[in-house]
Amino acid sequence: MNQNSNDAFQPLQPGVQLKNDWCNFPIPMNIEVGENTVIDSSSTFKKFFSKKQPGLKLGKNITLQSSSLATELQGYIEIGDYSYISGAAIIACDKVIIGKYVFMAGGVTIVDSDFHPLDPGERLEDTVIISTVGKKKERPSFVVAPVVIEDDVWIGYNATIMKGVTIGKGAIIQPGSMILKDVPPGAVVSGNPARIEQKEYA
């Protein structure tokens, strides 16, 4: 297989079903897309349930490769121009905002909620409710807080970014990092939980 080939990518257009795609459903209609933004499969949207108009806003010259954009009914995702999302999962109960020139490597996960209560008793109750015998409309509440990733951020393999986090412009998130709090602009962070290696990338 030619690694330099762009044959796997097609223009991302609302309502269009991609040619020769193993995942046989069309791109959602409730999205806004800039010019020259491409995708390799509509499987990216298997868990995209947003009813917002739009539920997804994509800038121009974005590449979505083997990634997942997943939302709850009121979830919203925004990705800025020239970003490259490769094998990442972005999951929004409310809102995830990603700036321009952001690169995400494989295995990256971004979530704006824990998607379950933190109290042990409530978490056990929630486990029963979301099972096949439960009533999902009766789920206990859980914390939701938007995630913001500013321009020019690099996020390495298998990093995880949790709810309520802002990552400042030009920051570098090293592979495998667990981001639980804000990252200053230009910082290089690593570890679980992540700590600053350098205050500014040289």
Burial class (CB in 10 A: 0-12, 13-18, 19+), 80: buried
Distances from the Cα of 37 to the Cαs of 32, 63, 151, in angstroms? 11, 6, 17
Burial class, 134, CB count within 10 angstroms (exposed 0-12 / middle 13-18 / buried 19+) = middle
Question: What φ, ψ does residue 148 adopt, rounded to 5°?
Answer: -125, 125
Measure CA 97 to chain center.
9
Q: Which of 116, 123, 139, 169 is catalytic?
A: 116
Is 116 labeled as catalytic in the residue annotation? yes
Distance CA 149, CA 1 (A): 34
What residues are annotated to the active site? 116
